[in-house]
Amino acid sequence: MIHTEYEWLSDEKKLIFAQSWVPEDNLRGMISLIHGLGEHSGRYARWAELFVQAGYGMLAVDLPGHGCTEGRIAYVKNYQILLNQVDLTLRKSEDLFPGVPRILYGHSMGGNIAINYAISRDAPIKALIASSPWLRLTFRVSPVELALGKIMNILLPWVRFKRKGTKTEHLSHDPDHWADLRSDPLVHGMVTGRYFYIIYQQGEYAMRHVYKINKPFLLMHGSDDKITSPRASADFVANTSDRTQLKIWDGLYHELHNEFEYRDIAKYVIDWLESL
């Protein structure tokens, strides 16, 4: 396996950190991965290795305000910047690995971004994958909290506060993963009014415009996810084409790629890719 780190300039002239994991030969496809809120690309190294073993490379980027990418923690000026970063990642994938089929894969907040990218832009991809996408949250956001988020989005968009309803032990069932997460200096549990509100809005937008997705689409969710809603995922795919496949993993939590069953889950994704 070949691991490479990159630094790019975004369309907004910000320094972007990314990294790739690819097989030494016989590259069959490149997965562009978009991570979730408060984390970074490095948390997917073990996951990437399983795809490399099957001939698929992975290119993962740190989003603005995350990991080693420049920007205020958990802040972004607008949603278009996030979509532009997907554009940049796919362009770099083609430049670095020309002629290889490209797959867009988003987890949690990254699933929200990947889905909205496929809805709003002519995505140059072979397939779309989303795991535990933030379409709606499992816990209820009260009208007061929503109104406060809207106000902060306008008046104090950069002010950070601790995220509600996200406990480390609810991400996966693996205690070793909890320890790694708590000791990771690049992981944070913060969100700004801007980030929360635009992701919330785009989740609702995606629920209304799912019919615009015209690529093979795999959506996976753990049935016991306590952060993002598996029911919303099921409702979401009910309005898609027969090119969409929904997989609910019984009893699993939010980060499927960090569950004890992660090898079985990777095999399921690889088998789906090979069926296209």
Question: Do 62 and 40 contact (CB within 8 A), yes or no?
Answer: yes
Query: pLDDT tens across 220-248, in order?
Result: 999 999 999 999 999 999 978 889 999 99
pLDDT at 256: 98
pLDDT at 70: 92
Mean of the per-residue pLDDT values for the chain? Answer: 92
Q: Encoding tokens for residue 246?
A: 């929904």
pLDDT, average across residues 266-270: 98
CB contact set of 86 (below 8 Å; sequence gap of 6+): 32, 34, 104, 113, 114, 117
The size of the chain, in residues, is 276
**Structural domains of the chain, count:** 1
In the predicted structure, residue 163 carries a pLDDT above the cut 80: no
CB contact set of 268 (below 8 Å; sequence gap of 6+): 220, 247
In the predicted structure, residue 125 carries a pLDDT above the cut 90: yes
pLDDT, average across residues 171-193: 90
pLDDT at 183: 93
Going by pLDDT thresholds of 50, 70 and 90, the confidence category of residue 66 is very high
Going by pLDDT thresholds of 50, 70 and 90, the confidence category of residue 165 is low
pLDDT at 43: 97
This prediction has a pTM of: 0.95
Of 223, 270, 218, the residue nearest 241 (C-alpha): 218
Within 48-114, strands assigned E span 56-61, 102-107
- Strand 56-61 and strand 102-107: pairing? unpaired
CA atoms within 13 A on the CB side of 104: 30
In the predicted structure, residue 130 carries a pLDDT above the cut 80: yes
Q: Encoding tokens for residue 134?
A: 């933030």
CB contact set of 151 (below 8 Å; sequence gap of 6+): 193
Query: pLDDT tens across 67-90, in order?
Result: 999 988 888 999 999 999 999 999
Question: Do 195 and 158 contact (CB within 8 A), yes or no?
Answer: no
Residue 71 to residue 66: CA distance in whole angstroms: 8
Strand partners, 225: none
Question: Do 89 and 62 contact (CB within 8 A), yes or no?
Answer: no
CB contact set of 140 (below 8 Å; sequence gap of 6+): none
pLDDT at 142: 61
Radius of gyration of the chain from Cα atoms?
A: 17
Domain encompassing residue 126: 2-275
In the predicted structure, residue 249 carries a pLDDT above the cut 90: yes
Neighbours of 271 (CB within 10 A): 10
In the predicted structure, residue 37 carries a pLDDT above the cut 90: yes
Query: pLDDT tens across 188-225, in order?
Result: 888 888 888 899 999 999 999 999 999 999 999 999 99
Identify the CATH number of the domain in which residue 15 sits: 3.40.50.1820
